[in-house]
Amino acid sequence: MENDERRHIEDDLSDIPSKKLMNSLPNYFKFTGDIQASAYLNWRFDFIRNLENRFFEMAKGYLDTSIVLIDQCLEDNSDKKADIWIFPILFNVVHGIEVYLKAFNSLYRIHTDLQNNGNPQGSKIEGKHNIRQLCQIAVKQLRDTCNRKLLDELLFVQRFIDILYQNTNDMTFARYPIDTKKNVHFYIEAGENITIDLRVLRQWVLRVAEVLDVVTDHIDSQVNQVQEWSSDMMQYFDS
């Protein structure tokens, strides 16, 4: 950037008036040549053609950042930042779970169709923001197909969601202090301290993230194996 004197982008620029800074700061979407200081929005998705896997990749980012924020609070909370950071932390957890489950439900339907008739539907991302309902759909699919191994894992995620829903069924609680009807959320309405133990939350979120990563990777691998086998068979009979 340029100013009365040459300043580095990593300098403290708080002494520059906003009007002047606005005209001198570069466009943050413009690549400056520094790979380490750049976030590539497309890079991971360029290598992922499968819609569900694009969802999985994005969901992982939400859960990973929630853990980083928790760790920073636990490292030093002398400024009580946890009291306000808890909202983006929980938003990231809830949204990460939502994105994971929407794609899992779509991919598992494809997996089931391949197992039953070899003619699966295409990707179908369904559902709104009700992570309890999304998880119930996932659990039902696993029960219907007697997939006990994955079911036992996903029940952990369901338990995490149940604890959250014991306090509120409105997932906007982490986005705004009021709901769509302009009523305050449970933590304001209570009239007493509502606390979350970050050490306990960290363990829950770590395992939720691990479970969702493992079960989605497992189903994705199985779908790929069946599709590759089907493709090989078609080539064999066509030759």
Q: Which of 79-83, 103-107, 159-163, 219-223 has the lowest mean pLDDT?
A: 219-223
pTM of the model: 0.88
Q: What percent of the chain has pLDDT over 70?
A: 90
The answer, yes or no, to whether residue 45 has pLDDT greater than 50, is yes
pLDDT at position 46 is 81
Q: Once rounded to an integer, what is the mean pLDDT over residues 216-236?
A: 71
pLDDT at position 118 is 63
Instruction: Give pLDDT tens digits for 104-163.
Output: 999 999 888 887 776 667 677 887 889 999 999 999 999 998 899 899 999 999 999 999
Residues in the chain: 239
pLDDT at position 61 is 97
User: In sequence order, which residues have a C-beta less than 8 Å from that of residue 194 and are 6 or more positions away?
Assistant: 167, 186, 187
More confident site: 74 or 223? 74
pLDDT at position 3 is 45
pLDDT at position 123 is 74
Cβ of 21: how many Cβ atoms within 10 Å?
15
More confident site: 81 or 15? 81
Distance CA 100, CA 216 (A): 8
The answer, yes or no, to whether residue 5 has pLDDT greater than 60, is no
The answer, yes or no, to whether residue 82 has pLDDT greater than 50, is yes
The beta strands (E) that lie in 26-103 are given as none
pLDDT at position 127 is 77
Instruction: Give pLDDT tens digits for 164-207.
Output: 999 999 999 999 999 999 999 999 998 899 999 999 999 999 99
Q: What is the mean pLDDT of the chain?
A: 88
β-sheet bridge partners, residue 184: 178
Contact 193, 170 (CB under 8 A): no
Angstrom CA distances, 127 to 144, 156, 211, stand at 20, 21, 21
pLDDT at position 176 is 93
- Roughly what angle, to the nearest 10 degrees, separates helices 82-116 and 131-144? 30
Q: Once rounded to an integer, what is the mean pLDDT over residues 214-218?
A: 93
Burial of 69 (0-12, 13-18, 19+ CB in 10 A): buried
